[in-house]
Structure 1
Amino acid sequence: MPSIGVFALQGDVREHVHTLQRLGVDAFTVRRPDELARCDALVLPGGESTTMYKLARTFDLFEPLVERIRGGMPTFGTCAGMIMLADRIEDGIDGQETLGGLDITVRRNAFGRQVDSFEGDIDVAGLGDPVHAVFIRAPWVEQVGESVEVLATIPAGEAAGRIVAVRQGSLMATSFHPEVGDDDRIHRYFVDLVKQS
């Protein structure tokens, strides 16, 4: 089974570790470059994207992360993690940096503030039944490059058609939090992707 690290300087780390362990994966937290070196793959959890990049810089993880992602390490970003993987950001703070890798433009807090958080069922490409998705101050994808596969969009309402899950090679990202609840199919999808790479 692959060794999958979860970026643990900020965000909802524990839930991702538990979900991956339930799938039989060697999952552990990553706070230092030597822990990153153990990873076959990485999860960038939800949290606060501006805090995440600053802490990654403080703990000397930023450059090693960029190198590993550029070098092809499978990486899965959820919510703030999606922002961290995006090549371009709308509504970022001044000087906000991302790790990059995904040829997408994301809009921070696209669905609104914490009070505008919501949940709903969405269809995800490759998964049979809909996924119950939890959106908390979530981004959405404004634009995708031609090598990016759209895995899910919002089905109805004001945000209908907005892109909320993507994959490009060994990188994938969701606007929502698949670690919330018991449905581990999105994590399973990522684990399969890791095994294939």
Structure 2
Amino acid sequence: MKKKIGVLAIQGAFREHCKSLEKLGVEAVEVRSVDDLKGISGLIIPGGESTAIGKQLEIDGFGDKIVEMAGEGFPIFGTCAGMILLSKKIDRSNQYSLGLLDISVKRNAFGRQIASFEADIPVKGLKGGNLRAVFIRAPYVTEAGPELDVLAAYAGKIVLVQDDHILASAFHPELTDDTRIHEYFINIVDQYRK
């Protein structure tokens, strides 16, 4: 039976994540409500506008259900806005977050849309050399808890972290042809959803 991984499809780059998963032989399920969380083995929270996505997660206990599932070992991967939404603290903001990762993040930390860029970064434990990372109005981690595994940094700033079954990146792995970060998340799903 084909593995099913959900992609939060409220707003942002969810279609690109779906394509990356399908390339790897995984069924991508667009998640728009609590009901859509049934039957999936993991969830990707994509980039987009973290405030808009957060407002939707506050409706009908949607975010609460995701937090509850995470507490039971449900794997989650947040990219860009997804990293912001997974954090416990957002610098100079009181916007909604799921609070699942012991990190503080700075929004738009590398600059505005016009300052978007790509860079080759080394990723701890990732075979095949450096990863091409696309940063678009990207956050970075300003503080990380002691239990967190820092997997990558750019210009001295933390941009990829993992805490057991939860993974978060400041960049957009779905915007390149390199599927290694999605494969990494699928391995997390395999490990935690036996």
- TM-score (norm. length: structure 1): 0.93
Residue aligning to 2:96? 97
Report matched runs for 1:126-141 at 5 Å. 126-128=125-127, 129-141=129-141
1:61 partner SS: helix
1:87 partner SS: strand
2:58 partner SS: helix
Report matched runs for 1:61-72 at 5 Å. 61-72=62-73
Aligned length: 190
Report matched runs for 1:1-197 at 5 Å. 1-58=2-59, 60-92=61-93, 95-128=94-127, 129-154=129-154, 160-197=155-192
Aligned counterparts of 2:118 and 2:24: Cα–Cα separation in 1: 24
More displaced stretch, 58-67 vs 34-43: 58-67
- Aligned-pair CA distance for 1:60: 4.2
Conserved 8 A contact 1:32-1:60: no
Aligned counterparts of 1:59 and 1:131: Cα–Cα separation in 2: 38
Letter in 1 for 2:135: F
- Give the superposed CA RMSD: 1.1
Aligned counterparts of 2:132 and 2:153: Cα–Cα separation in 1: 13
2:174 partner SS: coil
* Structure 1 segments (4+ residues) deviating >6 Å: none
Aligned counterparts of 2:169 and 2:191: Cα–Cα separation in 1: 20
**Unpaired segments of 5 or more residues in structure 2?**
none
- TM-score (norm. length: structure 2): 0.94
Q: 1:79 to 1:43 in 2, by over 3 A?
A: same
Letter in 1 for 2:149: E
Aligned counterparts of 2:28 and 2:181: Cα–Cα separation in 1: 16
Aligned counterparts of 2:81 and 2:65: Cα–Cα separation in 1: 19
